Each structure stands twice: as C-alpha cells, then as structure tokens.
C-alpha cells in the first residue's frame, strides 16, 4: 500500500514541478523574443530612413550605370577576401593539429557565415563549432581558432580607425579613444598574459585543486596544443592574412567607387569599412539590409555624396559582399560531410 502512495505523490510532485516550469520557464524566452523584435524593428527603422524619399527610377538607373569592369574587379576582391578568410582559419586549425579535410572546413565556415547573414543573431560561430561536435576533445581548440580570428579582426578594426583618423576626425562617430582602443589594448594584454603565463598558472591550478578528470584532460590538451602561439613564425601567417583581408575589404570599396564614378579615395573607403563593420555587429535583422544601407550611406555623407548616389553604392556593396557567402553556404549544405578527426 505504501508504494502506490509514493508513486502517487511523485506523480503529483511531477505535475506540480511541470506546472512551475510552465509558469516560470517562458520568461527568458519572452524576453529573448522581445529583444529580437526590438532589434528587427531597429533594423527596419534604419532601412526606412535609408530609402525614405528615394527616387526608385534613379536608383535603378544608377545601378545600371555602374561600370561593369570595375564592378567585376570589386566582386573578385570580395571573393579573394573570402578565400583569405577561410585560409586563415585553416592555418589556425592545422596549427592545433586538427586533421580535417578542406571540404569539411569549407562547409563549416560558409554555412556559419550564411547563418550570420540570414538570422538576426550571431549564431554562425556556434554553427561552425557544431560541425565538430562529434569530437568533443577538440572543441576548445576550435573555439580558440574562432576567438583568434575575432581578436585579429578587432586589432585590424582599431588600426583601420587610426589610419582613417589621419584624414578626418572620426572620434565623434566611433569614439575610438572611448572604447575601441581601450578594448583592443585590454584584450591584447590578456592574450599575451595567457600565452606567456597560462601554462604555468594552469600547472599550479591542476595540482592544487581536485578538478574533474575530464576537465583536466581537456585543458591539458588545449594548453599543450596552444603552445604554437608562442612561436612568432607560426603566428605571423595569421597576422599577414588579416592585413590582406582588411586590405581586400578596403579595396572593394575603392573599386566600387570607381565603378559608380564617385570621386572618393582611401579615407572614404576606410570610413565605409569602419562604420559598416561596427554597425553590423548587433545583427539587427535578417540580411542586415537596414543597418548596412544606413551606415554605408552615413559614411559617405562627410564627402558630400547625394542621397541617391549613396544608396546606389550601399545597395550594390551589400549585394556583392552578401551573396557570395550565402552561395557558399548553400553549396556547403549540398556537399557530402566527411569525418573530422584529430591527432
């Protein structure tokens, strides 16, 4: 008789627990949905501001008037930039002794890029990591390769801002001294501290604390695999590729200026790169159409570019930098997955 009562109580407790979950759990979801809606509305507001008062006939005419030769060169620079980006990631992956075919890395990278573009969130990196979910022991290494990418791009963004500031004052726009440079310096110091003192610090932690065996194995392997970061010879290719990647993005803007007959130079190309890059970080809406148009146009205002001309530039630039990763992601989904292994 006692057993049924226990079962009944457990059943009631389960119902009660589930009831509490139904009441309490959706709250974070609601907040997340509300935040997503706010982000999308902000993106739509930027889109409306960008196209408000536009003469559509002039927009179509401006796009058709683009010089095809310079436009093709701009597209090729985008493709070259994508090649350099995936090459940089492959170098980092190989430095961690992760044995994976080019096809698998291609799939992971471009599907992740497509997700970043399509969804109003920065989930592409999680998708990239997810391609290695079958090899849990190398996940810390994969996360580190992506973190290195982001760090090098942060440094490049700060350097780009400094270079542009030589030609025009952008502190009021980006507040370089207020956040970008301090963040870059702090992250750099933390990275250097981790590289120089991390292994010794971890050695003391692992011997002085009773940590889970699996965690110790993970961190031991990650610390050992990360030793390559102490070799300037192995770090240099990633730095060089980062310089080339940002140079390609800068060149894309210059080539598109020439295609549209806009009398603009390196300062304008750099400002477009800076504002668009920073403006897209929050990922406000699918495709980032509104923020992209808004910040690309905003970057051209100091140079006296009219509303229609600025929007023509923004529309074409958005198309040529967005469509290739989307196409690459679609191809990546069609490619047969292979097996990823590590040494």
Q: What is the mean pLDDT of the chain?
A: 81
Give residue 169's pLDDT band: very low, low, confident or very high (50, 70, 90): low
For residue 253, being part of any structural domain is answered with yes
Q: What is the model's pTM? A: 0.80
Alpha carbon distance, N-terminus to C-terminus of the chain: 58
Q: Is the pLDDT of residue 189 over 70?
A: yes
Average pLDDT over residues 306-332: 91
- The predicted pLDDT at position 3 comes to 43
DSSP state letters, 21-53: HHHHTHHHHHHHHHHHHHHHHHHHHHHHHHHTT
| Domain presence at residue 246 | yes
> Is a pLDDT exceeding 60 seen at residue 342?
no
Least confident of 40-44, 65-69, 94-98: 40-44
Q: Which long-range contacts (CB under 8 A, 24 or more apart) does 70-74 make?
A: 70/255, 70/256, 70/258, 70/259, 71/255, 71/256, 71/259, 71/316, 71/320, 73/255, 73/259, 74/252, 74/255, 74/256, 74/259, 74/320
User: Is residue 11 included in any domain, yes or no?
Assistant: no
pLDDT for the residue numbered 9: 40
Q: Is 261 helix (H, G, I), strand (E, B) or coil?
A: coil
Query: Looking at residues 86-98, what average pLDDT do you find?
Result: 93
| Dihedral (CA of 284, 73, 89, 163) sign | negative
Predicted local distance difference test score (pLDDT) of residue 16:
36
The answer to the question of residue 38 being in a domain is no
Instruction: Please check the confidence at residue 23 and state whether its pLDDT lies above 70.
Output: no
Confidence (pLDDT) at 281: 81
Question: Who contacts 124 (Cβ-Cβ below 8 Å, separation ≥6)?
Answer: 111, 112, 113, 114, 115, 116, 117
When pLDDT is averaged across residues 249-268 and rounded to a whole number, the result is 94
In this predicted structure, the answer to whether residue 8 has a pLDDT above a threshold of 70 is no
| Of the candidates 315, 325, 316, the residue with the CA atom closest to the CA atom of residue 294 | 315
Length of the chain: 343
pLDDT digits (tens, 9 = 90+) for 106-144: 999 999 999 888 887 778 888 898 888 888 888 888 999
User: How many domains does the chain fold into?
Assistant: 1
Residue 90 structural domain? 53-342
pLDDT at 176: 59
- Comparing 95-109, 128-142, 213-227, 289-303, the range with the smallest average pLDDT is 213-227
Judged against a pLDDT cut of 90, whether residue 47 lies above it is answered with no
How confident is residue 24, by pLDDT bands cut at 50, 70 and 90?
very low
b or e along 113-149 (b: 16 or more beta carbons within 10 Å of the residue's beta carbon)?
bbbbbbbbbeebbebbbebbeebeebebbbbbbbebb
267 pLDDT higher than 50: yes
Does 21 reside within a domain? no
Q: What is the pLDDT of residue 273?
A: 94
pLDDT digits 0-9 by tens, 217-232: 778 778 887 888 888 9
Domain presence at residue 189 = yes
Residue 12 lies in a domain: no
pLDDT at residue 81 above 60? yes
Asked whether residue 34 is assigned to any structural domain, the reply reads: no
């Amino acid at each position: 008789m006692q057993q049924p009562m226990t079962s009944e109580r457990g059943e009631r407790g389960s119902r009660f627990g589930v009831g509490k979950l139904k009441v309490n759990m959706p709250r974070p979801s609601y907040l997340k949905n509300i935040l997503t809606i706010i982000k999308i509305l902000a993106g739509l507001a930027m889109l409306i501001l960008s196209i408000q008062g536009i003469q559509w006939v002039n927009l179509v005419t401006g796009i058709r008037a683009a010089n095809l030769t310079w436009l093709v060169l701009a597209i090729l620079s985008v493709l070259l930039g994508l090649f350099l980006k995936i090459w940089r990631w492959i170098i980092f992956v190989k430095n961690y002794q992760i044995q994976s075919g080019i096809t698998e890395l291609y799939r992971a990278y471009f599907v992740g890029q497509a997700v970043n573009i399509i969804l109003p969130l920065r989930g592409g990196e999680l998708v990239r990591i997810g391609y290695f979910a079958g090899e849990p022991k190398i996940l810390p290494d994969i996360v580190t390769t992506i973190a290195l990418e982001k760090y090098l791009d942060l440094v490049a963004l700060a350097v780009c801002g400094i270079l542009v500031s030589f030609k025009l004052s952008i502190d009021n726009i980006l507040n370089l001294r207020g956040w970008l440079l301090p963040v870059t310096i702090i992250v750099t110091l933390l990275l250097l501290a981790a590289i120089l003192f991390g292994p010794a610090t971890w050695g003391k932690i692992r011997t002085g604390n009773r940590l889970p065996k699996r965690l110790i194995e993970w961190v031991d392997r990650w610390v050992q695999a990360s030793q390559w970061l102490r070799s300037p010879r192995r770090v240099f290719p990633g730095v060089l590729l980062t310089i080339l990647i940002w140079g390609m993005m800068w060149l894309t803007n210059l080539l598109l200026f020439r295609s549209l007959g806009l009398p603009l130079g390196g300062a304008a190309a750099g400002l477009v790169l800076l504002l668009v890059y920073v403006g897209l970080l929050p990922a406000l809406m699918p495709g980032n159409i509104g923020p992209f148009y808004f910040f690309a146009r905003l970057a051209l205002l100091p140079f006296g570019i009219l509303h229609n001309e600025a929007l023509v530039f923004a529309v074409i630039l958005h198309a040529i930098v967005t469509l290739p990763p989307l196409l690459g992601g679609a191809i990546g989904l069609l490619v047969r997955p292979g097996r990823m292994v590590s040494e």
